[in-house]
Structure 1
Amino acid sequence: MMRSTNDMCGICGFTGATDERAPILKAMCDVMAHRGPDGEGQYTDDGIAFGHRRLSLIDLEGGNQPMVRSTGEHAARITSPALAGDGTPALGAEAAAAKGDYAIVFNGEIYNYQDLRAELEAQGWEFQTHSDTEVLLTGYLAWGEEVLDRLRGMFAFALWNRQTRELFCARDFFGIKPFYYTVQDGQFIFASEIKCILEHPAYERKLNEEALEQYLCFQFSALDETFFKDIFKLAPAHCMTVHADGTTETRRWWRPTYDFDESRSREATVDAIDEAVHESVRYHNVADVEVGSFLSSGIDSSYMAACLAQENPSIKTFTVGFAEYEGERDEITWARELADELHIANNSKHIGEDEYWEVLPRVQWHMDEPSADPSAVALYFVDQEAAKQVKAVLSGEGADEFFGGYRIYQTPFANQKLAWAPKGLLRGASKMARGLGVRGANYLERASEQVEDWYYTNANGVAFSPEERNRLRVGKRANAEERIPTPQELTAPVYAEVAGLDETTRMQYADLFFWLVGDILLKTDKMSMAHSLESRVPFLDKQVFDVSRTIPTRLKADNDQTKLTLREAAERAIPKDWAQKEKLGFPVPVVNWLRQDRYYNEIKGWFTGEIAQQFFNTDELVRLLDEHKAGADRSRKIWIVYMFLMWYKIYFVDKKAPEKPAA
């Protein structure tokens, strides 16, 4: 493995001057101690306060943060605020002496930091540590904001210019690492987790009901403004400057684009994919600690684990499943068989029914905002298992969005069979089929519309429609005079950026800005950090995307199969049975659980309780429960509401973290 001082961590901070900065920073850092149990650092200067929690992989001394740099031409004096003997930040004279000209707090991994360091050294810049943090800080001094275009990795950081009294913040290409912020009374407050901002006394906790409206349709937080009023997410590939007068300026520094290479052969495309994935896995294996890998039954983690095994044959892999699914070739069986084929170690766990339900409150607390994805809980457990043996793990997120992996991406191909039919006829047939309860209504409806009309997230068809939402909602927002935007209106600006491309590519592009960042990557970060585990995502690499963006849609998906050329590339590393296997994800048995009296009665108590009465028509909620118990599948809609109610109780009633279940 290559030498690295990269760390996963949590960052926080705020502008402005107050005599209470030390205890505020301490409280903000303490509430996200799970992101970095190995160390804590603080930095204060006139107008700025930075906090940092560190999950160290190596080099405990050299990579401490916040990191401060003083420059005299290209010479460097790197310092980090000292820690007292008991490990608490020293905010007195020692820290005051380490002001420097620039200070940074950084969460993430810069995988090409060694290449960038060599380039900077050739220009005369000097370094005092082996950390990617110092390379990032020095790169900003050398290239300014253009450093962002040179980075290869995942990152969220804030950088203070002491001379101009400006704060520069940025988030990575695809939004792998989170960055939340708010402006209160002229103070800019930011953090890796919302719960840190809630510890700042300038922020008053308020629910953003507009976020609830969209959550019911998307099944995740889909707006730039979070469920907490006036707390926002910095969008992926965006940066922000906070000026000395308190004003902010945000810009987009990168946008994914497509340029299909129709002249390249299918075999050459497969070659390009295989080379890019192997190289990315090699970069993501940069560490001085052991890097493990998740291993499910699907192609993404199987291909990735096989590539990692070629770099390190002694790797450990991790799998979870549900006892209800035990039997022939379930999730764990597939993983174990592949691990045997690859001669690598596999650690597996069947998640028990009771422990799944017991951990739900803790999962919602870690997520910061309500998440209705049942697989987030499964991810919590596989991260927990991995964290017992390794500090870093590879995960397969991004392959579906890059290479056409979701079955829903095949819909445009199926719709072509009805291209001859008038749209009005298809709409009428869809309404008739829906009224009669006949299968095929969704198929007919989608064939009669443009993809922008019906595809807004992968929750389409399982979450609430705007009409269902309007029947369900009561309370302040439901009674407001202003009109609630539809999901289609929210996604329209994204679709407009790729208006000239085919429907499948437009769906992929929309997912980059909604499903991927709002659901997939959020749970990846929050569930791994819940266990102080670094989760790395090799498919979500800039160089891998540069290959995927050139692949024509016909080589990504067709009416019969998804991820066509990615599967062919994977066959070079794993057996065909695994490379061609359909996607399972985490098959959580929620559908069956919700029909049991035990869980039906428990959720009915939530659905008729005081919190539910504030926001919902409880008769409608009970109707959903009864229909599901009678045999109709209403599980996702039930879960969406149930998780919101649980989250609201944690953050607005109890206002404290739930007890952590025994491991």
Structure 2
Amino acid sequence: MTWTPGCPPREEAYFRHALRPLARPAEDAIAAVRDALRDSVHAHLQSEVPLGAFLSSGIDSTAVVALARELRPGIRTYTVGFDDERYSEIEAATQTAAALGVGLTATLVHDDDVIAALPRIVWHLDDPIADPAIVPLWFLARTAARDVTVVLSGEGADELFAGYEIYREPAALAGVGRLPASLRRGLRAVSAVMPEGVRGKSFLDRATTPIEERYYGNARIFGPAEKARLMRAPAQPHTAVTAPLYTAAADLDDVATMQYVDLHTWLPGDILTKADRMSMAHSLELRVPFLDRAVYAAAASLPTSLKVARTTKYALREAMRGIVPDAVVDRRKLGFPTPTRVWLRGDVGAWAGDVFADAGVDHLLDLGHVQRLLAAHRRGDADHSRKIWTVLMFCLWYAQQTTPRPVPARP
């Protein structure tokens, strides 16, 4: 902001995202990614205090560790997992650490740990964030902070290099998008009368809806009808937030447009916020080499064909081939998966019911409806875990930020 006496303040952005593909051979574009990321990781290793790195089962953190060990062969790495092996990355991370020749410290999180830690986690967040990955990140940072003061992490790679599976959606919907408008309207009418849950309904809904109406990021928890059922006051439509972004991205293809939206919303509002607050809660400095300006420039110049080809993050994977194990290069994204579905059918679910009963937010939300969702989830009738978890995080935050209320003890 610039202010001159006698004039109104003038505001301007100091940086604007520019996702513009460059016409060059694929091998040159991939080499540019590799060189920029290597330089960034090496620069982020400068430290006068103990330094380590987070390591999951995926390409992002593995790339950072593999490049870091070029200068620091003995770098310490940290991972986290759960009792339920379907959601635990400890085994895969252990194999990766062994292949790279680095030490690994693994932390196992139990249901009791979640109940004990969640109110404290919410307190450190300041703002309500319902991403379940906050939980493993809290325990990961706590363990790392016992040994090191600085950690490197892989945040930013998914947004820059198109790592989310939903970025492959435009290609899947392209066939319907090429149909005449009248036929698309007919398909949308068919989808409107199809019962919820019927196979193909969601595909038709999304294929016949313009991208600016259907896409607003990764976290789509409650649909319009569900929000109307849950909330006491009318909900703000997502377009109130995303419309200016779609205007600015009007000349981009659909994949780059989705990235543009996420770079302005999901990345700063979720990914970086939770990483910053969960690490700083343990006085741990977290560094993100993927968000270096040169790495950004290399990613922003990639054509869609090098982002979502046979897999997600194609250019990044190929840039790291030969540097990280092939098993990691070709592994699908997991990203510290969290067993909220399992937790909410056990002791965490019973505890959540007590939180809802004493949350003091009935003037804002229909918690009777939420309790019914919880009961159906615990019976195994449906998977409502993301919806229940979202309301749980809000209730914990609200209780702390308004009139302090005691959080129910574990059952």
- The higher-RCO structure (CA 8 Å, 6+ apart) is 2
Q: Confirm or deny that 1:447 pairs with 2:196.
A: no
In structure 1, what residue type is equivalent to 2:350?
N
Greater C-alpha Rg: 1
In structure 2, what residue type is equivalent to 1:265?
P
Task: State the Cα deviation string for residues 138-192 of structure 1 (Å, max 9, x = none).
Answer: xxxxxxxxxxxxxxxxxxxxxxxxxxxxxxxxxxxxxxxxxxxxxxxxxxxxxxx
Q: Confirm or deny that 1:639 pairs with 2:389.
A: yes
SS for the counterpart of 2:403 is: helix
In structure 2, what residue type is equivalent to 1:601?
A
Q: Confirm or deny that 1:535 pairs with 2:295.
A: no
Once the two structures are TM-superposed, the CA of residue 582 in structure 1 deviates from its matched residue by 0.5
The residue that corresponds to 2:297 in the other structure is 546
In structure 1, what residue type is equivalent to 2:279?
S
Task: State the Cα deviation string for residues 600-655 of structure 1 (Å, max 9, x = none).
Answer: 33322333335131211233212221332333111111111111111111121228
Cα-Cα RMSD: 2.1
Q: How many residue pairs get matched?
A: 402
The residue that corresponds to 2:134 in the other structure is 376
With over 3 angstroms needed to count, the CA separation of the structure-2 counterparts of 1:244 and 1:642, relative to structure 1, is farther
The residue that corresponds to 1:110 in the other structure is none
Aligned equivalents of 1:580 and 1:610: distance in 2?
45
Kindly indicate whether the alpha-carbon contact (under 8 Å) linking 1:289 and 1:391 is maintained by their aligned counterparts in 2: yes
Aligned equivalents of 2:341 and 2:70: distance in 1?
39
In structure 2, what residue type is equivalent to 1:497?
A
* Residue 262 (structure 2) aligned to one of 511, 515, 521: 511
SS for the counterpart of 1:613 is: coil
Once the two structures are TM-superposed, the CA of residue 490 in structure 1 deviates from its matched residue by 1.4
The residue that corresponds to 1:226 in the other structure is none
Aligned equivalents of 1:626 and 1:565: distance in 2?
45
SS for the counterpart of 2:77 is: strand
Aligned equivalents of 1:595 and 1:604: distance in 2?
11
Aligned equivalents of 1:425 and 1:631: distance in 2?
33
Higher strand proportion (structure 1 or 2): 1
* Residue 520 (structure 1) aligned to one of 271, 288, 302: 271
* Residue 322 (structure 2) aligned to one of 549, 572, 589: 572
The residue that corresponds to 1:602 in the other structure is 351
Aligned equivalents of 1:357 and 1:310: distance in 2?
40
SS for the counterpart of 1:615 is: coil
Aligned equivalents of 1:436 and 1:530: distance in 2?
42
Aligned equivalents of 2:177 and 2:217: distance in 1?
24
Aligned equivalents of 2:275 and 2:2: distance in 1?
27
Once the two structures are TM-superposed, the CA of residue 312 in structure 1 deviates from its matched residue by 0.7
Aligned equivalents of 1:248 and 1:380: distance in 2?
41
What is the TM-score normalised by the length of structure 1?
0.58
The residue that corresponds to 1:134 in the other structure is none
Structure 1 vs Structure 2: percent identity of aligned residues? 40
5+ residue gaps, structure 1: 1-239, 659-663
Once the two structures are TM-superposed, the CA of residue 439 in structure 1 deviates from its matched residue by 2.5
Q: Confirm or deny that 1:322 pairs with 2:73.
A: no
Query: For 1:378-417, what aligned pairs fall within 5 Å after superposition?
Result: 378-417=136-175
Once the two structures are TM-superposed, the CA of residue 249 in structure 1 deviates from its matched residue by 5.5
In structure 2, what residue type is equivalent to 1:398?
G
With over 3 angstroms needed to count, the CA separation of the structure-2 counterparts of 1:364 and 1:429, relative to structure 1, is same
* Residue 294 (structure 1) aligned to one of 54, 58, 63: 54
Kindly indicate whether the alpha-carbon contact (under 8 Å) linking 1:423 and 1:449 is maintained by their aligned counterparts in 2: no
Aligned equivalents of 1:345 and 1:244: distance in 2?
59
Kindly indicate whether the alpha-carbon contact (under 8 Å) linking 1:402 and 1:545 is maintained by their aligned counterparts in 2: yes
SS for the counterpart of 1:314 is: coil
Higher helix proportion (structure 1 or 2): 2
Once the two structures are TM-superposed, the CA of residue 426 in structure 1 deviates from its matched residue by 2.6
5+ residue gaps, structure 2: none
Aligned equivalents of 1:513 and 1:535: distance in 2?
21
Q: Confirm or deny that 1:258 pairs with 2:19.
A: yes
Aligned equivalents of 1:436 and 1:566: distance in 2?
38
SS for the counterpart of 1:252 is: coil
With over 3 angstroms needed to count, the CA separation of the structure-2 counterparts of 1:537 and 1:412, relative to structure 1, is same
Kindly indicate whether the alpha-carbon contact (under 8 Å) linking 1:528 and 1:535 is maintained by their aligned counterparts in 2: yes
The residue that corresponds to 2:192 in the other structure is 431
* Residue 556 (structure 1) aligned to one of 288, 303, 307: 307
The residue that corresponds to 2:368 in the other structure is 619
* Residue 350 (structure 1) aligned to one of 89, 97, 108: 108
With over 3 angstroms needed to count, the CA separation of the structure-2 counterparts of 1:428 and 1:266, relative to structure 1, is same
SS for the counterpart of 2:53 is: strand
The residue that corresponds to 1:279 in the other structure is 39
